[in-house]
Amino acid sequence: MMNWGKAWLNYKKIDGMEETKLLDEIYYYWEDPIIVNAAAELETALTKMQEISVTSRRIEKGEEAKLPSGVILQVEESSSLDKEGYRITREENKIFIEGKEPTGVLYGAFHLIRLIGCGESIERLAIEEAPSNPNRMLNHWDNIDGSIERGYAGKSIFFDKENILLNDRTRDYARLCASVGINGVVINNVNVRGAATRLITKEYLPQLKKMADIFHGYGIKLFLSLNFAAPMEIGGLTLADPLDSQVITWWKGAFKEIYEYIPDFGGFLVKADSEGRPGPFTYHRTHAEGANMLAEIIKPYGGIIVWRCFVYNCKQDWRDRLTDRAKAGYDNFMPLDGKFNDNVILQIKNGPMDFQVREPVSPLLGGLRHTNQILEVQVTQEYTGQQRHVCYLIPMWEEVLKFKTYCGEKADTVADIVSGRTFYQTNCGMAGVANIGNDENWTGHDLAAANWYGFGRISWDTTLTAEEIAKEWILMTFSDDERVIENITGILMNSWPAYEKYTSPLGIGWMVNPGHHYGPNVDGYEYDRWGTYHRADCKGIGVERGQAGTGYTLQYHEPNASMYEKIETCPEELLLFFHYISYTHKLKSGKTLIQHIYDTHFEGVEDVEEMIKKWKALEGSIDSDAFERVTLRLKEQLSNSKDWRDIVNSYFYRKSGIADGKNRTIY
Ligand code: GCW
């Protein structure tokens, strides 16, 4: 039986390592908690992977020359490497892992472990790596009572009943994050309410310091989400106006105290003026004024303010054909481009709406030129099956990263922009809304761990493909059996397309039950009580977002704007996001829109049946507990996908009155 709590760090014997005597000792000559952790990780991994006893010890600098064999960890401050980068080389029986700073060595150690774990040769080694993105962060939406907003894997590992949790899991969490290069985590929900507002006070700081110390040993900075109204809610002030001197003084005191406890505290994530959260709008101040006030105070400590662009009016009247929620992010933040301090980063969701199964890329990415940016993706599967369905999300993020914005610079993809290459920024990167909880296997669905692993890997190296990442994860987690690799890769790679097929078609989004957002409900969307967000009527469906409609397409650079504007050039998977289309419109496949809706909903279910076949064939080849758990979830997915198929198809059959060309039963 495997220890699922260790996820992909559940090291196991690797065949063919028997003769490798060179890996039985780890040496380091730099006393630092991160290096000590790197050595300990190698010790554990190499012991298990080789089934020999491996030890680690400190040596004096220079001594390595006399050693016959082993893995040698070196920090060379004068090295030309990137500050988090590393070099792995081999000289006869010695392997050297060199970093400019200890974190580089830690990442190098995990790289070597991954190579061995994936069965790669270590005969010749000449590896040099640096991360694509400076900030690679996880955002947890954990509440201080232990519940998790949009969490599908149990309760929080950080909080319980208004207390901070510190246990073995804290360290294992940090190890798992570091192994894929994550270097910053926000542990509390962006919706900061009640006692969570007090996380920045002495009541919690001593415990948070302990957590930050554990994280520090793995190269991870601790961040918190902050309540913009804290000066009122816990400071006794009557306002939270960012330009008010009393408010500023209050924040100064609060930040000073935090840094007294946690000198390497990362900073804050802020959701302001959105979905009921307080913010600068109350005082007729701009988001730049709000963010800069905090940024100025935190600057001397080296902290950053990550300010979310998820700002929209959730009470908007969807029946008005000119107002468009998709436009809100750009409308709110473009006028402020260049007005934010250099330690403010704007965090932008990948799409203009809200983590739907298919959305275009947010036009802020490529729009903003003078502002640090972080791309936010949702690892937790709020709208993609809530970890009851398998939905491997890395292919989606890969597409987003490769999207050409045509911002007028040579390096113009989203990956270029958020890495800082395009506009020479150093405060930028990627953030993922975490999908973990205290479930034994961390992620509820065993296959959802691939999304956590994959988020880290792709934010470290944006050139990796989703398939490469899937294979690594399978090898590290399950087995090197060829059929296991082939079948699980097949399941993962087909899971997002399948989910898309049996849920909402061609970029229209939602169609879920309000509130918890699970299961089919075509008209169900809590912020649209008229059920019109998809504009479906008896003739067609889709939102006209071209110039004749809401004008959203104008937020893109050319040629993207024209591409989306015209039905003929608009990518078909986004057709209903951008246009109102009649049910009888012929798609490129030659099928009518209505037939496409029917067919894809049937196909999606068949795809799930195919996944089940692939999974069943693995019985006996993988851990039996994991096998059973996933089998159960796939069964639920199959039955839910049929619900989706039937409810969506019958809705459109009734609306359009057009029968299925293939005469299948539409319920
Ligand atoms: O997707 C929506 C979720 C909210 C979430 C919000 C956000 C944390 O339904 O639960 O709040 O996005 O991103 O702030």
Per-residue pLDDT tens digits for 625-639: 999 999 999 999 999
- Distance from the CA of 353 to the center of ligand 1, in angstroms? 11
Q: Provide the residue type at 487 as one letter.
A: N
- How confident is the model at residue 18, as a pLDDT? 66
> Which pLDDT tens digit goes with each residue over 62-96?
898 899 999 999 999 999 999 999 999 999 999 99
3-state secondary structure 508-572: CCCCECCCCCCCECCCCCCCCCCCCCCCCCCCEECCCCCCCCCCHHHHCCCCHHHHHHCCCCCCH
Q: How far apart are the first and last CA of the chain?
A: 44
pLDDT given for residue 409 in this prediction: 97
pLDDT of 5: 81
Contacts 24+ apart (CB under 8 A), 622-629: 622/478, 622/479, 622/484, 623/1, 623/2, 623/4, 623/478, 624/1, 625/1, 625/2, 625/4, 626/2, 626/4, 626/441, 626/446, 626/478, 629/441, 629/445, 629/446
Residue nearest to atom 2 of ligand 1 (CA): 354
CA 335 to mean position of chain CA atoms:
27
CB 350 within 8 A of CB 311: no
Would you state the pLDDT for residue 316?
Answer: 76
Is 412 considered catalytic here? no
Ligand 1 atom nearest residue 517's Cα? 9
**What pLDDT shows up at residue 215?**
98
Dig out the tokens for 473 from the structure: 């994860």
**Could you tell me the distance, in angstroms and rounded to a whole number, from the CA of residue 175 to the centre of ligand 1?**
27
Beta bridge partners of 160: 163
- Per-residue confidence (pLDDT) for residue 275, from 0 to 100: 87
Please provide the average confidence, as pLDDT, over all residues in the chain: 95
Tell me, in angstroms, the distance from the centre of ligand 1 to residue 227's CA: 15
Chain centre to alpha carbon of residue 135: 12
The beta strand positions in 570-622, using DSSP E, are 581-582
- The answer to whether residue 354 is catalytic is yes
Pocket test for ligand 1, best of 310, 380, 516, 526 (most atoms within 8 A of CB): 310
Residue 268 has pLDDT above 70, yes or no: yes
> Tens digits of per-residue pLDDT, 364-406?
999 999 999 999 999 999 999 999 999 999 999 999 999 999 9
pLDDT confidence of 622, banded at 50, 70, 90? very high
List 51, 275, 609, 628, catalytic entry:
275
Segment 327-350, tens digit of pLDDT: 999 999 999 999 999 999 999 999
User: Whose CA is closest to atom 1 on ligand 1?
Assistant: 354
- Nearest CA among 138, 132, 73, 135 for reference residue 99: 73
Evaluate if residue 529 carries a pLDDT over 80. Answer: no
What is the rounded distance in angstroms from the CA atom of residue 358 to the CA atom of residue 334?
Answer: 23
Kindly give the distance from the C-alpha atom of residue 407 to the centroid of ligand 1, in angstroms, as a whole number. Answer: 29
pLDDT of residue 313: 79
Q: Output 529 or 402, whichever has higher pLDDT.
A: 402
What pLDDT, on the 0 to 100 scale, is given for residue 116? 95
> What's the pLDDT at 21?
67
**In the prediction, which pLDDT does 19 show?**
63
Task: Out of 354, 398, 412, 607, pick the active-site residue.
Answer: 354
Q: Tell me what the mean pLDDT of segment 450-469 comes to.
A: 98
Mutational test site, ligand 1, from 150, 273, 314, 353, max ligand atoms within 8 Å of CB: 150
The answer, yes or no, to whether the previous bond of 395 is cis (omega within 30 of 0) is no
Instruction: Check 101, 359, 382, 472 and give the catalytic one.
Output: 382
Reduced to 3 states (helix: H, G, I; strand: E, B; else coil), residue 486 is: helix
Of the listed ranges 28-32, 462-466, 516-520, 609-613, the least confidently predicted one is: 28-32
Which ligand 1 atom lies nearest to the CA of residue 149? 10
- DSSP H or E stretch at residue 607: helix 593-616
Per-residue pLDDT at 8 exceeds 80: yes
Measure Cα distances from 285 to 294, 328, 348, 535 in Å. Answer: 14, 17, 21, 35
Q: Has residue 1 got a pLDDT over 60? A: no
From 142, 147, 148, 149, the mutation candidate for ligand 1 (largest count of ligand atoms within 8 A of CB) is: 149
Nearest-atom number in ligand 1 for the CA of 355 is 1
Protein residue closest via CA to atom 11 of ligand 1: 191
Structure tokens at 517: 């957002």
Q: How confident is the model at residue 421, as a pLDDT?
A: 96
- Measured distance CA(615)–CA(628) in Å, rounded: 10
What is d(CA 598, CA 605) in angstroms, rounded to the nearest whole number?
11
597 alpha carbon – ligand 1 mean position (Å): 28
Which pair of tokens denotes residue 617?
A: 């064939």
Q: Using the mean position of ligand 1's atoms as its centre, give its distance from the Cα of residue 643 in Å.
A: 25
The residues lining ligand 1, judged by C-beta closer than 6 Å to any ligand atom, are 141, 149-150, 189-191, 271, 310, 354-355, 382
Q: Shortest CA distance to 537 belongs to which of 377, 662, 652?
A: 652
Whether residue 544 has pLDDT greater than 60: yes
Q: How many CB atoms lie within 10 A of CB 657?
A: 10
Tokens of 640: 């839910």
The stretch 422-440 carries a mean pLDDT of 97
Angle (CA) 140-146-149 rounded to 5° is 45
pLDDT at 151 (0 to 100): 98
Q: How far is the CA of 5 from the centre of ligand 1 (A)?
A: 28
Chain centroid to CA 408: 27
- For residues 543-550, give the mean pLDDT: 95
Q: What angle do CA 462, 427, 264 make, to 5 degrees?
A: 110
Closest ligand 1 atom, CA of 141?
8
Instruction: Report pLDDT digits (tens) over 130-146.
Output: 999 999 999 999 999 99
Is a pLDDT exceeding 90 seen at residue 643?
yes
**Atom 12 of ligand 1, nearest CA residue:** 354
Strand 304-308 with 344-349, pairing: parallel
CB-based contacts of 550, cutoff 8 Å, min separation 6? 321, 322, 323, 324, 326, 327, 543, 544
Alpha carbon distances (Å) from 236 to 9, 195, 231, 247, 550? 47, 15, 6, 10, 44
The C-alpha R_g of the chain, in whole angstroms, comes to 26
Report which secondary-structure segment, H or E, holds 471: helix 466-477
Given a cut of 70, is residue 524 above it in pLDDT? yes
Atom of ligand 1 nearest to the CA of 150: 10
Query: Which residue out of 139, 156, 188, 191 has the highest number of ligand 1 atoms within 8 Å of its CB and is therefore the one to mutate?
Result: 191
* Ligand 1 midpoint to CA 9 (Å): 30
Are the C-beta atoms of residues 173 and 179 closer than 8 Å to each other?
Answer: no
Segment among 290-304, 517-531, 629-643 with least mean pLDDT: 517-531
